[in-house]
Amino acid sequence: MMENRVCFYSPNDLSIDYNLELAEKAIIKYKSEPASTLTDVIELFHIKKLIDNDCRLKCWSDVMFNQIKEDIKDYNDIIAKHFAKINRNSLENCYDALAWDYRQAFWDIIDQFKLFNVIDNNFVKNTAKGKQNDLIEILHCRNVVEKFKIELRQIMLEDSNTAQILINHYIAKHDNKTDRKIHLPSNLSMDDKVKIINSYLDSKDPNLNYVRLICQNKDDKNGLVLDPQTKVKAERLAQKLNDEFMSNSRTVKISHKLAVAFSNENNSSFASTQIM
């Protein structure tokens, strides 16, 4: 989380009160010092998200909360106008200077306001290629994904590690309800997905946990359908990686003993068994 900058994650996030306190101060500041940098403008976006989700401090009266809503009513216009004036020649440097919390908001703003003229194909490719965290942030934004689906599909096909995105999306369980959904390019075919999975299985350093998840995949025509050869490849690789892991001298092995006792109704005799 950025120090001294407002960040909105979800209405139930534990940092809500802290960020509301920061927002209260920031709103006062921006009344006399208009937002002038990309970071400033993205902070306005976070403040707006907080208030639009009816997040408020307990000490705020209804009168004060309504006044805050009035103070921020023009924030969307300020955000859109600032983004529309961004110089493309300096955009990559400005984006690279953003903290992670604000990079996701950058794409959310492009997506929400449909400001596609602010960015171009090269910016998307330079931002997402080989940078999985940035790629995932883009994939959270349905409109951006659809607009740049050709570039995003190519990026995924060229990077075997994007298989982890497919695995997390289609196979891994998501118990955290606040996890954001990703949107895959609509032109990413089933054959493309299988190709990416195979490329990952053939890569130099596949992760055992991800390979095991591939083995657990249940074919779904609306999700991920793997051919028999790919399934066999994954199962063999999982066994190989597991054997290598268990034979590694740095692997700590812990043995357990389980004792089971059997007795008759009178508790006069019993037999016991130990299982290693």
Taking the model in full, what pTM does it have?
Answer: 0.85
If phi > 0 it is left, if psi is from -120 to 50 it is alpha, else beta; for residue 114 that is left
End-to-end CA distance of the chain: 47
pLDDT tens across 216-259, in order? 999 888 789 999 999 999 999 999 999 998 886 565 556 666 66
pLDDT tens across 110-128, in order? 999 999 999 999 999 999 9
What would the mean pLDDT of 59-68 be, rounded to a whole number?
97
Contact (Cβ atoms closer than 8 angstroms) between residue 145 and residue 139: yes
pLDDT tens across 159-207, in order? 999 999 999 999 987 766 667 899 999 999 999 999 999 999 999 999 9
pLDDT tens across 11-30, in order? 989 999 999 999 999 999 99
Which residues are CB-neighbours of 273 under 8 A, at least 6 positions away?
259, 260
